[in-house]
Structure 1
Amino acid sequence: MNKRHAATAATALALTLTVTACSSGDDTDSSAGGSTTGLSHIHGLGLADQRLYVATHRGVYTPDAKGKPELVGDSKDDFMGFTVAEDTTFYASGHPSEGGNKGLIKSTDAGKTWKSLSLAGQSDFHALDYVHDTIYAYDATNSLLRTSKDSTTWKDGAQLQALDIAVSPENPGLVLATTAEGVARSTDGGKTFTTGKQPMMAFLSWSAKDALYGIDTSGGLNRSADGGGTWKKISTVPGGQPQALTAVDANRVLAATQDGVYESKDGGKTFTKRLSVESSGSH
């Protein structure tokens, strides 16, 4: 039974990895421009000045006055890793539209313009977390957990196959990663990780000490009050397989699934659709 469960979990996470990871050479989105461009291939979510931001395969979007997705700035690059650090400061990674890897990039005007900071052409960060004045990043190019205090020099941590990471808001040494075996744990800032343990999550987001959220591959939202030791299922986010998860605080949760971007203000008990998502083609 355990072996079958593990195999099923690994298959499910592999499927999630397949639909989540875009290649820069494959583009199934229409690019007519303007505020009516449909959303698809979502990789990150954030809230800044109470405004929703959605990082996608074709740029960063925000709802316009009519609630339709509007491109922020003029970049239609593939934003893979994405996180709101503070106020209107964003960090991201991914692929330029012409191909290659962006390394770490930064915006201080809520995504309107971006500046390259480090590892351009070398690294593709699929997961980013900014906490304790440190950037924690999962480099999918090298299957490597990396950290940086100054955005330019990096410390290499453990090598592992992961989809997402989350860092304790209380303890800079406690890092979690979603793997095919389950949630892996590091207590030394990402230098080493334990083998993943069930339950298996696709994405994690840790907003407060007792508010670690995880979403499984079918959209089930779970919460842990003890740093991932035990989990309680809260609800199922509408729309099927998840694409991204961000807990803004202990009660406000953003989740993207196959058909929409949803928001909860009651700790994940109920969700309201903020934006519709187009059906994503093969990546």
Structure 2
Amino acid sequence: MLNKKSTLQACMLALALGILAASPVHAGEPVTLMHVHGLSYSTDGKQLLIPSHHGLAVYSDGHWSKAAGPAHDYMGYSATRDALYSSGHPAPGSGLTNPFGLIKSRDGGKTWQQLGLTGESDFHMLATSYATNAVYVLNHQPNSRMSQAGIYYTLNDGLKWTRAAAKGLGPKLNSLAVHPTNAALVAAGTDDGLYLSRNSAESFERLAGGRRVLAQSFDLDGQHLWFSTHAGKAALARIALKAGAKAEEVPIPALTEDAVAYIAQNPARPAEIAIATFQRSVFLSKDQGRTWTQIAKEGTTHE
């Protein structure tokens, strides 16, 4: 379980510009999370965004809706202060090339710009630095910009990709996260613990071991790292980024045959944390994880 119209002319113009244009949104449609492929807040903190199999789902003011954008299958989704980045597959009938490679939205997912590797790569594992727009991906096979499999990063929206050696990293990489202001500081979750790199993923040291780490996320102030684990049961912890720091367990709702897959912090209200699980349940905490409210259960959204 844990292991997974506008007119023709306008459409042609959008494709020529590398823009993936929005499709119609129908008011009143129920929102079901077919999959959960990421989790982020809008910069103003008013919306929680969840990429799923049929576009972006939005939770705001206690209500769910579908975002005003194309209903693509977004994979490897990650947000920064001024953009959304993703990979994935185009919606049926869109006429767009599959897979996307790397795409970027500056308007909350209404439109998307193609940044390269279109038709070549689908990055299921993608992480961004909130304030720098650095993008890290796990590439599984060679493409026109990446000569071999491994971790790669770009600091300029895909104009140049650099491969990282990832020395010292434990077995089976499950997740990546990038520090909000220091693009060289990268966290990795593996089957034997939480790892940290201070040199752009060239080498890693283990921060916490003994448990399988499935997801991690830096606090937006850059001082702590949240991480999700599973060792017989699901757990969530937080560790300070300083020498000798010990991880502190954060209480979460009981999860049966499930675990935390994504973690996000509200940039406008830092005490507010959201988590999404592999079984498509979503919870909110307004007190840094002391208490939780469920807003979706196994893909069914709650008003």
Question: So what's the TM-score if we normalise by structure 1?
Answer: 0.77
How much identity, in percent, do the aligned residues show? 26
Matched with 1:59 is 55
Unaligned runs of 5+ in 2: 5-25, 142-148
| Pairing partner for 2:197 from 186, 189, 192 | 186
Contact 1:145 1:156 in 2 (8 A): yes
Which one has a bigger Cα radius of gyration? 2
Q: Return closer, same or farther for 1:118/1:238 CA change in 2, 3 Å cut-off.
A: farther
In the alignment, does 2:247 pair up with 1:231?
yes
For residue 236 of structure 1, what is the amino acid of its counterpart?
A: I
Q: Which residue pairs with 1:7 in the alignment?
A: none
Pairwise CA RMSD of aligned residues? 2.8
Describe the superposition over 1:29-78 as per-residue Cα deviations: whole angstroms up to 9, x where unpaired.
xxx9962031131011111131111111221111377723x322342322
Question: How far apart in 1 are the matches of 2:176 and 2:110?
Answer: 26
Give deviations 1:237-283, integer Å, cap 9, x for gaps. Answer: 4543223222335522110122521111211111112334338xxxx
Query: What secondary structure sits across from 1:76 in the alignment?
Result: coil
Change (3 A) 1:64 1:169: closer
The answer to which of 70-79 and 191-200 deviates more is 191-200
1:81 deviates by 1.3
**SS of corresponding position for 1:244:** strand
Unaligned 5+ segments in structure 1 are: 1-14, 20-31
SS in 1 for 2:33: coil
C-alpha spacing 1:237/1:106, structure 2 compared with 1 (3 Å):
farther
The reply on whether 1:37 has 2:34 as its aligned counterpart is: no
Contact 1:67 1:275 in 2 (8 A): no
Specify the code of the residue in structure 2 equivalent to 1:71.
K
* Residue 92 (1) aligns with residue 86 (2): yes
Deviations 1:216-257 (A, max 9, x none): 234311011136952110112454322322233552211012
Deviations 1:105-159 (A, max 9, x none): 1111111121111222223222221345242322243452222121022112136
8 Å Cα contact 1:212/1:227 also seen in 2: no
What residue is the counterpart of 2:228 in the other structure? 215
* 2:186 corresponding residue in structure 1: 175
In the other structure, the counterpart of 2:154 is 148
Quick check: 1:73–1:111 contact (8 Å CA) kept in 2? Answer: yes
In structure 2, what is the equivalent of residue 278 of structure 1? 299
Structure 2 length-normalised TM: 0.72
* 1:110 is aligned to 2:108: yes
**What is the 5 A alignment of 1:18-29?**
18-19=3-4
Counterpart of 1:121 in structure 2 is 119
**CA distance in structure 1 between the aligned counterparts of 2:60 and 2:177, rounded to whole angstroms:** 30
Structure 2 counterpart of 1:246: 264
Give, in angstroms, the shift of residue 197 of structure 1: 5.0
Q: Tell which deviates more after alignment, 160-169 or 43-52.
A: 160-169
The answer on whether the counterparts of 1:201 and 1:214 sit within 8 Å (CA) in structure 2 is yes
The aligned residue for residue 129 of structure 2 is 130
